[in-house]
Chains A and B, each alone.
Chain A
Amino acid sequence: MSWLTLDSLTKRFDQVTALDGVDLAIEAGEFFTILGPTNAGKTTLLHSVAGLHRPDKGRIHLAGREVTKLEPRARGVSLLFQNNALFPDRNGFDNIAFPLKAGNHSGQEIERRVQEVAAKVNVRHLLDRPPRTYSGGEQQRVAIARALAAPSDLLMLDEPLTNLDARLRIELRIEFKALHHDLGQTFLYVTHDQVEAISLSDRIAVLDAGKLQQIGAPQQIYDRPENRFVARFIGMPPMNLLPVRLVGEGSTQRLEGKGFQAPINGIEALAAYPAIPAGLELGIRPERIRVGREATSEHGIAAEVVLVEPLGGRTILDLSLAGSEVKAVVPARELYAEGEAVFIGFDAEPELLLDPTSDRFLR
């Protein structure tokens, strides 16, 4: 049995169902991320596991025991709140020492432990000052130190990087990864930023409106999304979904869309699909689209550049393909101008054919 399991977890607040029958199984030592847009239910999920409220339905098991009805302090978990929840009337040392004061530790032990954990996140110089004198990044670090102070089985982090400046986010992201590697604890991480999720996690659970969309390793979720929501939520820019139809017979089957035709890579895979609807959508990741100025076998489909969005090392091209919007990502050194006519090419993978009526990929 997995180390942390949620069975059919459901939680309602007045009329709103925040969590709708969520099933999760998390292994010990994993860096597991819950990813979803605002109001997907991520914080509710975390708070349920922490014990800050009772679920309406479902059960939670942690390290072999059922904790569904246990009070927070009996669960052995640690939670880093979204707005860090540092006690404003205490200084850094007292904040970090707080979890230790609840137990029976001697003053010496507390001192030692606080110094140890403060050194780990580099906040020893902040111990004698109150939180209001800290910068955003420093507040987060002290909050992390507090979350780590008392030994716990599970460290939960609720969007810890969301309220920070862009630069700080990148710095701390890398620190989190190192911290997880260092501590070996199980991390349950919540975020709306898919780049964070993909770069940090061992596995990701995508959540939307209280329902689980897909669970899997980052690369798997990226390459093989299960439904439209996941396909569009993961990836920056999101996956293109172009309406297509399957035309032809047998081995000459190909996909026909507005302004293009595409052969199917690995056409045998189609045979595995029970019933292929007439109208489909083809998923293409922007970085897999080849772009060039002349029509060649690599890129032969005519398109027009509508908008150019540089990202530094690479550039996003907003293209118009016979009226449909398509985004492609090209290396920065390839310079295209707005209004330029270009030619694009891409491979159609049968695994990325979407059924618009169910919004699920055919696989």
Chain B
Amino acid sequence: MSDAKLELLDLKKSFDAVEAVKGVSMTVHKGEFLSLLGPSGCGKSTTLSMIAGLEEATSGDIRVDGQSVVKVPAQRRRIGLVFQDYAVFSKLSVRSNLAFGLEAQGFPRTERRQRVAEMAERLQLDRILDQSAGRLNMSEMQRVALARVLVTEPQLLLLDEPMSNLDAALRFALRTELKRIQRSLGQTVLYVTHDQLEAISMSDRIAVMRLGELQQIASPEEIFTRPVNRFVAEFIGDPPINLLDCEVRRDGARAAVQTALHGPLDLGPLEIAEGRHLLGLRPHTLSLTREPGPGSAATEVAVVENLGAEHVAHVTYGDRLVAVTLPPGSVAEGERLHLSLDPAQVHLIESGSERVVAHSLSGVAA
């Protein structure tokens, strides 16, 4: 692909007996913002280290703009890396911070000055260029850390959970800024995080990893509405997806699913064995009404969680509770209501393989 900026080909990394990365292959396109998302220990940081050149791959290839860089030492890969906490040189001025990488690479002074001035203006650092970097607020610090790397015009920008130690409110503001900067510069970015909210709000595509293996790589919308397996379905989404026990019955080629309160629901022609499986229902796809509707089931509100902009009602569903997101103030604890699901957003998870084999009921486009 001509616009492939970064390609990973069956990349593997083992530490002694432990396989940290088990054969990851993917392509990052030019100008794309791609997140590597997964829980601690899934191999995302190790993968990033290999791309940066800080770790040697056990096998597999890494190509930047079509050229293999696996044997190229880190400082010659022209890849920028931003660490956690940004690691800005606090004793130097902002200007010196920005010029740092350029000096190290031997750029002449006039060119250094020019590049620094340009980048500072783009990131709105021009007014604080001569300030000491130790006295910056977080937003300025993020921009300085980014500018410092961007000024060397890297092929690829790698960020390793840079915001994980920050206040929630700050993280939110910095995320938006980072996205805007990336957009305006057209910079290809690979972002490592364990926070699914960060990943879905910023990325063009997300690569979900688990125990060294790539689970799914797709746009946030696709990962959210069409997860390929149980892990991805559970990992993405806040509140997390409701997973309900269900029973699948076959009638020839057609399958139907039955849960404690809903069903039988027609899944159409589907390859899945009869028996117990799991049905995934996302909280925001469920609705509660005062009057019964088609396919609705009676339920009672056990707990209402206030999350500010929306509320989450935990309603009875057989012997357990199911979460439903609602606008604030719509329901109260103890109310008896009727629960309906959205036939276009119903995820059937095959037990054993844990793959999601259907995303909607028969006749409905997911």
Interface members, chain A 152-199 (any B CB < 8 Å): 165-167, 170, 174, 177, 192-195, 198-199
A198 touches B201 (CB 8 A): no
Q: For B202, list chain A residues within 8 Å (CB).
A: 309
Complex: A219 Cα to B304 Cα, angstroms: 13
**Given A170-B239, A307-B183, A312-B224: A199 and B306 interface contact (C-beta under 8 Å):** yes
Q: Tell me which of A60-68, A228-236, A251-259 binds B.
A: A228-236
Q: Tell me which of B110-118, B119-127, B167-175 binds A.
A: B167-175
Contact with B along A309-329 (1 / 0, CB 8 A): 111111010100000000001
Q: Which of the residues B168, B195, B239 comes within 8 Å of A192, measured between beta carbons?
A: B168
Q: For A313, list chain B residues within 8 Å (CB).
A: 237, 282-284, 325
A38 touches B167 (CB 8 A): yes
A237 within 8 A of B: yes
Complex: A306 Cα to B180 Cα, angstroms: 9
Chain A interface extent, by class = 35 or more
Q: Which of the residues A170, A194, A314 comes within 8 Å of B169, measured between beta carbons?
A: A194
A312 touches B169 (CB 8 A): no
Q: For B263, list chain A residues within 8 Å (CB).
A: none
A287 within 8 A of B: yes
Min Cβ gap A263→B in Å is 23
Complex: A233 Cα to B328 Cα, angstroms: 19
A310 touches B284 (CB 8 A): no
B196 within 8 A of A: yes
**Given A165-B40, A331-B284: A237 and B172 interface contact (C-beta under 8 Å):** yes
B39 touches A195 (CB 8 A): no
B306 touches A312 (CB 8 A): no
Q: For B310, list chain A residues within 8 Å (CB).
A: 287, 314
**Given A37-B169, A237-B172, A310-B201: A165 and B309 interface contact (C-beta under 8 Å):** no
Q: For B328, list chain A residues within 8 Å (CB).
A: 219
Q: For A332, list chain B residues within 8 Å (CB).
A: 221, 224, 284
Number of interface residues of B (CB under 8 A): 41
Complex: A286 Cα to B197 Cα, angstroms: 18
Q: Which of the residues A136, A166, A312 comes within 8 Å of B195, measured between beta carbons?
A: A166
**Given A219-B306, A314-B284: A233 and B169 interface contact (C-beta under 8 Å):** yes
B308 touches A195 (CB 8 A): yes
A218 touches B39 (CB 8 A): no
A3 within 8 A of B: no
Min Cβ gap A151→B in Å is 27
A309 touches B307 (CB 8 A): no
**Given A234-B308, A309-B179, A311-B201: A167 and B39 interface contact (C-beta under 8 Å):** yes
Q: What are 15 contact pairs spanning A and B, CB under 8 A? A: A38-B167, A166-B195, A192-B168, A195-B307, A195-B308, A198-B308, A222-B308, A235-B309, A236-B308, A306-B180, A309-B179, A310-B200, A312-B220, A312-B284, A331-B284
Sample of 9 more A-B contacts, CB < 8 Å, known A167-B240, A331-B284: A165-B195, A170-B240, A219-B328, A222-B308, A310-B200, A311-B200, A312-B197, A312-B236, A313-B283
Residues of B at under 8 Å CB distance from A? Answer: 39-40, 166-170, 172, 175-176, 179-180, 183, 194-197, 200-202, 220-221, 224, 235-240, 282-284, 305-310, 325, 327-328
